[in-house]
């Protein structure tokens, strides 16, 4: 605790984190004349290195976390719940944050997402509505350069998408009739990937590796707004992990962010602090900032910091067609349906369904894969113990089998918040600076599991209608994949006893501490969170601008 308030601060606003939430906020405030400093735990990556990262992504010898150099003591974590969660596959630390590896899928939340208790008697309502956020959705789509086309699903739009939708793929055309056969309608998938030159960045040139890296820069990554912020005078300090926040003697205000840099601890004083470090690191920092005044962590008088953690679980059903399905020609899915994004229609629970344009492995990945003897034997290759990997024609056969003729359909569902699902501190393990690491502990609840169980037969029916063979659930409701969306750990609300931040995203407990993150979401919807993060961030920026002015 440091006595004295924010006299002679180093900045108007200190932002912790440079992903979309931090970068968009910094750009919005810096361009309006405010003095902003961004502290980013990870490094500043060279754009010119992206092709090498792409190679890492395609070579089977690299893990997903290797692409952006996640791992090691800096990023240590625990996972103690039912789900063995691979946290470092789900995030990137660096200037641009997790957007560096995201898929850039940007559906809006639906109006019902904000009113789940009122409409359906589940979870709780948000203290703001879709209508409150709609103007900011429009701005967020413009800021990120979203390519899309309005569908008949979801809430009303006051403006069209800023960029035309990416055209449907050949696979989408095949799927469209099969969706119709089950009474569903495929529509364009909104993506923050340039469908035409935009904002000084090229249109998509089809490298096909958007997740986890876009070498052309056509995919929006938050370093776009970091550059804008810096051009307007903001200072962005990379490799500066914030260790803790310090408050004044009364415990009313944060006075400094203490960060590590160059082997020493430094303090940054600011009038206002904004946590934008994601749904795991933001609550971790609050918990690691415990003091005599706040022994359970900052902004945690509700006891809810880190609780109600949510990530979207998903399932995948795959099959084969006896005709070219034209996979691996573009790096992203070009269609989805939000027809079942309605709690009481179709499968109970909100869900998005989308066909894949990348079923199976990329050709280079297959060609470079080594095959363990046991696996070859299991496939009936009796020569496996006597012969190593075969090349030449054998490589071609493997690539053909693994990379062509496949079709794949995925669905992901809304999980309801549960206080037992949480990010807490694992005090038995410390990071490279001696701070307790986050422990991500959660299970997939009955609601989401039930939704996925109800949607699984629909996916099978679609693939059957498509005429696919060998249809099977490759990832099912009992052991789903996750969207890597970290929601709910610093939730928003009007009641200080049951929420961490107010509707304006200020913490209830500290007058100059804000959170900009999917952590503030009250419910997770089924939609990918980043566009809503950006919309909330722009709304926060307007309020901070008014306040600081």
Binding stretches for another protein (CB under 8 A)? 48-52, 54-55, 58-59, 61, 166-170, 173, 195, 203-209, 215-216, 324, 326-331, 334, 357-358, 362-368, 370, 387-393, 395-396, 399-400, 403-404
CB of 507 to another protein, least distance (A): 43
| Rounded distance between C-alpha atoms, residue 370 and residue 389, angstroms | 7
Instruction: Using the minimum distance from each CB to another protein, give the nearer residue, 180 or 387.
Output: 387
| Rounded distance between C-alpha atoms, residue 266 and residue 251, angstroms | 21
Which of these, 26, 9, 32, 15, lies nearest to 545 by C-alpha position?
Answer: 32
Tokens 């991500």 correspond to what residue? 440
CB of 443 to another protein, least distance (A): 34
CB of 198 to another protein, least distance (A): 14
CB of 166 to another protein, least distance (A): 7
DSSP SS3 for 425: strand
CB of 312 to another protein, least distance (A): 25
Instruction: Using the minimum distance from each CB to another protein, give the nearer residue, 105 or 533.
Output: 105
| Rounded distance between C-alpha atoms, residue 147 and residue 531, angstroms | 12
CB of 366 to another protein, least distance (A): 8
Q: Is the peptide bond before 212 cis (omega within 30 degrees of 0)?
A: yes
Instruction: Using the minimum distance from each CB to another protein, give the nearer residue, 195 or 221.
Output: 195
Contact 465, 183 (CB under 8 A): no
Tokens 């050709």 correspond to what residue? 363
Written in H, E and C, the secondary structure of 204-260 is CCCCCCCCCCCCCCCECCCHHHHHHHHHCCCEEECCCCEEEEEECCCCCCEEEEEEE
Instruction: Using the minimum distance from each CB to another protein, give the nearer residue, 195 or 523.
Output: 195
Backbone φ and ψ for 163, nearest 5 degrees, come out as -125, 150
Instruction: Using the minimum distance from each CB to another protein, give the nearer residue, 367 or 443.
Output: 367
CB of 86 to another protein, least distance (A): 21
| Rounded distance between C-alpha atoms, residue 318 and residue 324, angstroms | 15
CB of 401 to another protein, least distance (A): 9
Instruction: Using the minimum distance from each CB to another protein, give the nearer residue, 404 or 429.
Output: 404
> How large is the angle between the packed helices 170-181 and 446-466, nearest 10 degrees?
110
Instruction: Using the minimum distance from each CB to another protein, give the nearer residue, 200 or 388.
Output: 388
Instruction: Using the minimum distance from each CB to another protein, give the nearer residue, 59 or 547.
Output: 59
What does each C-alpha distance from 251 to 8, 21, 306, 489 come to in angstroms?
19, 26, 20, 22
CB of 40 to another protein, least distance (A): 24
Instruction: Using the minimum distance from each CB to another protein, give the nearer residue, 329 or 378.
Output: 329
Q: How crowded is residue 24: how many other Cβ atoms within 10 Å of its Cβ? A: 30
Instruction: Using the minimum distance from each CB to another protein, give the nearer residue, 56 or 139.
Output: 56
> Residue 424 forms beta bridges with which residues?
439
Instruction: For residue 523, count CB atoms less than 10 angstroms from its CB and return exposed for 0-12, middle for 13-18, buried for 19 or more.
Output: buried
Instruction: Using the minimum distance from each CB to another protein, give the nearer residue, 49 or 446.
Output: 49
Contact 85, 446 (CB under 8 A): no
CB of 75 to another protein, least distance (A): 21
CB of 387 to another protein, least distance (A): 8
CB of 392 to another protein, least distance (A): 6
Instruction: Using the minimum distance from each CB to another protein, give the nearer residue, 55 or 134.
Output: 55
Degrees (nearest 5) of the Cα angle 114, 538, 306? 60
Written in H, E and C, the secondary structure of 478-525 is CCCEECCCCECCCCECCCCCCCCECCCCEECCCCCEEECCHHHCCCCC
> Residue 38 forms beta bridges with which residues?
15, 236
| Rounded distance between C-alpha atoms, residue 140 and residue 148, angstroms | 13
């Amino acid at each position: 605790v440091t006595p004295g308030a924010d006299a002679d601060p180093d900045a108007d606003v200190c932002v912790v984190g440079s992903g979309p939430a931090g970068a968009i906020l910094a750009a919005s405030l810096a361009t309006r004349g405010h003095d902003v400093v961004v502290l980013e735990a990870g490094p500043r990556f060279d754009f010119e290195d992206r092709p090498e990262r792409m190679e890492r992504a395609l070579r089977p010898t690299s893990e997903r976390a290797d692409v952006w150099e996640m791992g090691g003591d800096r990023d240590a974590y625990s996972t103690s719940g039912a789900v063995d969660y691979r946290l470092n596959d789900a995030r990137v630390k660096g200037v641009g944050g997790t957007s560096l590896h995201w898929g850039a899928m940007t559906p809006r939340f639906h109006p019902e997402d904000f009113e789940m208790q009122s409409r359906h008697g589940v979870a709780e309502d948000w203290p703001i509505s879709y209508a409150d956020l709609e103007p900011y959705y429009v701005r967020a789509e413009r800021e990120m350069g979203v390519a899309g086309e309005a569908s008949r699903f979801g809430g009303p739009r006051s403006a069209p998408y800023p960029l035309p939708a990416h055209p449907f793929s050949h696979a989408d055309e095949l799927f469209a009739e099969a969706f119709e056969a089950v009474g569903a309608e495929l529509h364009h998938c909104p993506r923050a990937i340039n469908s035409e030159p935009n904002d000084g960045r090229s249109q998509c040139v089809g490298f096909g590796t958007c997740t986890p890296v876009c070498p052309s820069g056509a995919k929006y990554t938050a370093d776009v707004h970091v550059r804008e912020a810096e051009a307007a005078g903001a200072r962005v300090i990379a490799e500066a992990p914030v260790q803790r926040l310090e408050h004044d003697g009364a415990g009313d205000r944060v006075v400094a962010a203490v960060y590590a840099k160059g082997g020493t601890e430094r303090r940054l004083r600011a009038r206002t602090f904004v946590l934008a470090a994601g749904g795991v690191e933001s609550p971790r920092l609050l918990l690691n900032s415990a003091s005599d005044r706040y022994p359970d962590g900052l902004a945690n008088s509700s006891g809810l910091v880190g609780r109600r953690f949510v990530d979207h679980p998903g399932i995948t059903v795959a099959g084969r067609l006896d005709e070219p399905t034209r996979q691996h020609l573009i790096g992203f899915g070009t269609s989805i349906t939000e027809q079942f994004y309605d709690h009481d229609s179709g499968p109970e629970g909100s869900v998005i369904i989308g066909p894949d344009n990348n079923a199976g492995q990329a050709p280079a990945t297959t060609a470079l894969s080594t095959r363990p003897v046991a696996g070859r034997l299991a496939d009936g290759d009796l020569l496996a113990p006597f012969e190593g990997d075969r090349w030449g024609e054998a490589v071609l056969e493997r690539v053909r089998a693994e990379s062509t003729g496949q079709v794949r359909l995925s669905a992901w569902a809304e999980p309801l918040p549960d206080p037992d699902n949480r990010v807490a501190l694992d005090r038995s393990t410390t990071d490279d600076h001696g701070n307790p690491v986050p422990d991500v502990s959660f299970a997939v609840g009955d609601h989401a599991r039930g939704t996925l169980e109800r949607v699984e037969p629909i996916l099978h029916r679609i693939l059957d209608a498509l005429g696919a063979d060998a249809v099977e659930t490759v990832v099912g409701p009992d052991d789903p994949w996750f969207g890597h969306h970290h929601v709910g750990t610093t939730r928003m609300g009007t009641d200080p006893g049951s929420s961490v931040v107010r509707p304006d995203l200020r913490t209830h407990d500290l007058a100059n501490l804000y959170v900009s993150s999917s952590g503030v979401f009250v419910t997770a919807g089924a939609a990918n969170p980043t566009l809503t993060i950006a919309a909330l961030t722009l709304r926060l920026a307007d309020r901070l601008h008014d306040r600081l002015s």
